[in-house]
A = this chain, B = another copy of it.
């Protein structure tokens, strides 16, 4: 069995997160590491990992650490799934299982497609409400077609096709992919349709387990939560936890961590190597990668915090922080609209220029090396590009590109200070 792992995608919608999606560390290990490990434990086979030129080294390191039997193929440009597989065509033969590098899945699904019995076998996720993906049109247990984004009410079934695809004959898959053409980004689906049309035995299995993709940065929060809720409590003997700190629920606390007096950690939480959880700070349901410092009296809740980020008396709720981030005292990453609406995030690929995250709570999404100044506030769903600064006192409603500095220009009124009531009231009057 060849297991093709698609790890070369571009992650356009992940902005401002620049780390290759599959290399983002969760609970101390890159996402790809976790997923490869799970597949290896459940499927016998040789890995073909399709990486891109930027991610190649990171991917290689992971494969080696896992002592996989693997080959890395490089997809030069991000030109879709068919192209990704074809960049590894010389390696493909015999049975093939195609998987996304980032998707969180229950491992039982691998066996179900492998042992499903068709020439081709795919998995359909049971959904409760409309999802903008490719739907399975079925005839019994056989696939008739994949219907891309049919629109709510027009779904041919309640099953959305995942990328857990089994092919009995890998060579044939390559043939079909090489022949297929399309003007859209659906060459792979065109090839699949052709197989059906040619009478191949294309079947599907229903899947109702967990599925978490990583297409948008806020899905980092979904993956974080998913992984945290599976952890087993473990505090490293090399960590120093004050007797006057409070730890509850399952937490992983790594070596070199210091949890200071009055700090509260409410699990599930991952506290990476050498993190300092400062006095009177609270961390809840969050992943703090190594080297972070919460400072005094911060509240970090349901967030993903990349390595070497520092805080000081901040509220960080439902936020995605890539790393090397800094935040001045009193700055707040708001995570809830005052009107309780779901939170929309910029996305130039949509007609509105925004996409609804579907979340009622979402804070900041911050690229690596960014900073938020003292007493600044960022609004729910705002994004800040790498190495940019949001200045002190700024109320940030929109996004900030990379390498920018955003400062507020306040109109200050400077008057003589006399203790008389009048001048103050006059000022108050003017502002009415």
Residues of A within 8 A of B (CB): 244, 246, 261-262, 264, 279-280, 282, 296-297, 299, 312-313, 315, 317, 326, 328-330, 332, 334, 336-341, 344, 354, 371, 373-377, 379, 387-389, 391-395, 397-398, 400, 403-419, 421, 423-425, 427-428, 430-432
B330 touches A375 (CB 8 A): yes
- Residues of chain B contacted by A428 (CB below 8 angstroms): 379, 397-398
* B-side contacts of A395, CB under 8 Å: 375, 391-393, 408, 410
- Which of chain B's residues have a CB closer than 8 A to the CB of A262? 246, 262, 264, 280
Please tell me if the beta carbons of B417 and A407 are within 8 angstroms of each other in the complex. no
Min distance, Cβ A326 to any Cβ of chain B, angstroms: 7
Question: Given the known A-B contacts A262-B264, A299-B313, are A408 and B407 also in contact in the complex, defined by CB atoms under 8 Å?
Answer: no
- A425 to chain B: which residues have CB within 8 Å? 344, 354
Residue pair B375, A377 in contact (C-beta under 8 Å): yes
Residue of A282, A329, A391, A430 most packed against chain B (CB within 10 A): A329
Q: Please state if A403 and B421 are interface contacts (CB–CB under 8 Å).
A: no
Contact of A280 among B282, B354, B418, B423 (CB under 8 A): B282
Q: How far is the CA of A404 from the CA of B408 in the complex (A)?
A: 22
Residue pairs across A and B with Cβ atoms less than 8 A apart, 27 shown, are A244-B246, A246-B261, A313-B315, A315-B329, A315-B374, A328-B377, A330-B332, A330-B377, A334-B373, A338-B371, A338-B391, A339-B389, A341-B419, A341-B424, A344-B421, A373-B377, A387-B417, A395-B408, A395-B410, A397-B428, A404-B417, A406-B412, A406-B413, A408-B410, A408-B412, A408-B413, A409-B430
Question: What B residues does A414 contact at CB under 8 A?
Answer: 400, 404-406
Bound complex: CA A336 to CA B295 (Å): 14
Q: A405 touches which one: B341, B398, B416 (CB < 8 A)?
A: B416
Q: Within 8 Å CB of A371, what residues of B? A: 338
* Chain B, Cβ-Cβ closest to A409: B411
CB of B373 within 8 A of CB of A338, answer yes
Question: Which partner residue on chain B sits nearest A328 by CB separation?
Answer: B334
Question: Within 8 Å CB of A279, what residues of B?
Answer: 264, 282
In the bound complex, residues from chain B placing their C-beta under 8 Å from that of A413 are 406-409
Instruction: Known contacts A262-B246, A328-B334; decide if A394 and B406 are in contact (CB<8 Å).
Output: no
Q: Are B416 and A403 in contact (CB under 8 A)?
A: yes
Q: Which residues of chain B are within 8 angstroms of A315 by Cβ–Cβ distance?
A: 296, 312-313, 329-330, 374
